């Protein structure tokens, strides 16, 4: 089993790295006592659960970690597992700025300034830094860049970040979905609700779908909307997003938005393997 130990300086981006590795399918545990490392790895191995590996976060908060980490690592490798140590670091002035921005107390603070606490922590972590498989300097990284770097590191450079895309229809009368990344209002399109033979149907049915999609206004709209999405999705993936929700709304969420969401899903599935289409308010649209 692949074991990644996340350690390093406080404020250097370890929490961001852990979230990125969780998204990649690793089981992550923070600040586990060092004497439990081997036992925990054994339990995960026997659990039958499918994980890409285990991430153990250990730093200056766990004082006893510095008394037994080498022995713990040897026990894990002797059991046949691979142990990698990712040491996160940043320039002192960058660390000081990050603590100033968040107003967090430095965990190594022993009634001293942040600058002195950083010096103490760096001294205590010196040997561990030398043992590290990879030292990652995050001084110039944004949060998104660091996430992307970590995911590329554990995957291998040749694999791209997989973006999970959800396309959902909704009715504005029931509120805009709060999880939306992109919201498109299609209430300007002709409404099948006012066509007696289509009122009881939904955008999943062929008659409604044809009424909406065959309209010249819809054709013109999709000629702009689809290329816009084709530009936006790669940009969101490059920014480090793992999930993207495209919400398409009409008045009640039963006719126009459903038909457009279905068409959008079909278009995106040609280029993106993980596209799911949902219809939040389709059953409410007649109320």
| pLDDT tens digits, 153-190 | 888 755 555 678 889 999 999 999 888 889 999 999 99
How confident is the model at residue 6, as a pLDDT?
A: 92
| Number of neighbours of residue 62 by Cβ within 10 angstroms | 18
pTM of this prediction exceeds 0.75: no
pLDDT band at 31 (very low <50, low <70, confident <90, very high): confident
Quote the distance between the C-alpha of residue 31 and its chain's center: 22
Q: Which helix (H) or strand (E) holds 124?
A: helix 114-124
Return the residue matching tokens 């191995």.
Answer: 45
φ and ψ at residue 152, rounded to 5 degrees: -65, -35
Average pLDDT, the chain: 86
- Sorted by where each starts, the structural domains of the chain and their CATH numbers stand as 2-155 (3.40.50.300), 164-279 (no CATH)
Segment 192-209, tens digit of pLDDT: 999 999 999 999 999 999
Q: Is the pLDDT of residue 287 over 60?
A: no
CB of 47 within 8 A of CB of 23? Answer: no
Describe the strand order of the beta sheet including 2-8 as a list of residue ranges: 26-30, 53-57, 2-8, 82-89, 134-137
């Amino acid at each position: 089993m692949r074991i990644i130990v996340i350690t390093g300086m406080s404020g250097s981006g370890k929490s961001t790295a852990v979230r990125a590795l969780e998204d990649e399918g690793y089981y992550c545990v923070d600040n586990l006592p060092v004497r439990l490392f081997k036992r925990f790895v054994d339990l995960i191995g026997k659990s039958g659960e499918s994980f890409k590996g285990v991430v153990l976060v250990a730093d200056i908060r766990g004082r006893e970690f510095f008394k037994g980490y080498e022995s713990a690592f040897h026990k894990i490798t002797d059991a046949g597992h691979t142990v990698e140590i990712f040491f996160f670091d940043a320039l002192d002035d960058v660390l000081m700025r990050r603590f100033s921005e968040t107003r967090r107390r430095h965990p190594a603070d022993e009634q001293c300034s942040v600058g002195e606490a950083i010096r103490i922590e760096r001294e205590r972590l010196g040997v561990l830094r030398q043992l590290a498989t990879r030292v990652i300097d995050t001084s110039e990284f944004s949060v998104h860049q660091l996430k992307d770097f970590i995911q590329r590191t554990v995957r291998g450079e040749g694999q791209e970040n997989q973006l999970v895309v959800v396309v959902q229809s909704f009715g504005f009368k029931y509120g805009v979905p709060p999880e939306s990344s992109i919201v498109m209002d299609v209430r300007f399109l002709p409404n099948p609700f006012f066509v007696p033979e289509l009122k009881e149907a939904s955008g999943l049915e062929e008659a409604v779908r044809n009424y909406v999609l065959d309209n010249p206004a819809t054709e013109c709209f999709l000629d702009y909307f689809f290329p816009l999405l084709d530009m936006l999705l790669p940009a969101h993936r490059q920014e480090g997003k793992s999930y993207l929700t495209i919400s398409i709304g009409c008045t009640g969420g039963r006719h126009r938005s459903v038909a457009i969401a279905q068409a959008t899903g079909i278009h995106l599935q040609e280029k993106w393997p993980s596209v799911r289409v949902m219809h939040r308010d389709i059953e409410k649209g007649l109320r």
